Amino acid sequence: MIAKLVFAFLAVLVLVPAGLAVTVKNIFHSALWLVLSLTGVAGLFALLGADFLFVAQILVYTGGITVLLLFVVLLSGSPKDWIVRQVNGQWAWGLALSAIFVGLLATLFKQIPEPAELTPAAPTSAPLGLMLVRDMLLPFEAVSLVLLAALVGAIHFSKRNS
């Protein structure tokens, strides 16, 4: 019963700020709503027993990416961008497509059989770490290379007079 209440709270915490993040006019407010939505996703991870992902989500998303986003919002764009219309001419088509898409996804997810019984959640950080350096060593190293390339690329792109 308490788990259901917590889940309902987290679902509202994820979906309402996400809906506001894609509809509000002010892009700065949009980024702030995104922070709240991503925090709700971290809560869902905690409810699913993914303790390492809970921490990683807060560190990387709410701590890193959104702060970066807020910096770029403030560095690019003039204050007049905050009062202009924020949707383009095809927003009705986009809304219709999204509505159809969510309906199709819901009918698809209805087909998945519910598992009979759930084992109690155990901490997964230790098995996750072992899996990353045993079974997934090559993708792990590849991701570190991708991050390095992204870092160098970001410095190259944002350099003045490049």
Partner 1 sequence: MLPLFGYTLVSGVLVSLGLFGALARRNTLSILIAIELIFNAANINLVAFNRYLHPGQPAGQAFAIFVIALAAAEAVVGLALVLTVYRQFKTVLSEDLNLLKG
Subset of 43-72 contacting partner 1 (CB under 8 A): 44-45, 47-50, 52-53, 56-57, 60-61, 64-65, 68-69, 72
Handedness of CA 11, 17, 22, 28 (dihedral sign): negative
Residue of 79, 83, 114, 141 that binds partner 1 (CB under 8 A)? 114
Among 9, 137, 141, 151, binds partner 1 (CB under 8 A): 151
Amino acid at 134: R
Q: How far from chain centre, in Å, is Cα 69?
A: 13
Is residue 9 close enough to count as binding partner 1 by CB under 8 A?
no
Written as six digits, the tokens of 45 are 């991870």
Q: Which 81-100 residues touch partner 1, going by CB under 8 A? A: 81, 84-88, 90-91, 93-95, 97-99
Query: Which helix (H) or strand (E) element contains residue 41?
Result: helix 27-47
For residue 101, state whether it binds partner 1 (rule: CB under 8 A): yes
Task: Please name the amino acid found at residue 133.
Answer: V
Judged by CB under 8 A, which of 112, 137, 138, 141 binds partner 1?
112
**Distance of alpha carbon 64 from alpha carbon 56, whole angstroms:** 10
Q: Note whether 139 binds partner 1 by CB under 8 A.
A: yes
Report in angstroms how near the CB of residue 65 gets to partner 1 at its nearest. 5
Q: What is the DSSP letter of 120?
A: P
| Residues 115, 71: Cα–Cα separation, whole Å | 44
> Of 34, 55, 83, 141, which lies in the binding site for partner 1, with binding defined by CB under 8 A?
34
Minimum Å gap between C-beta 93 and partner 1 is: 7
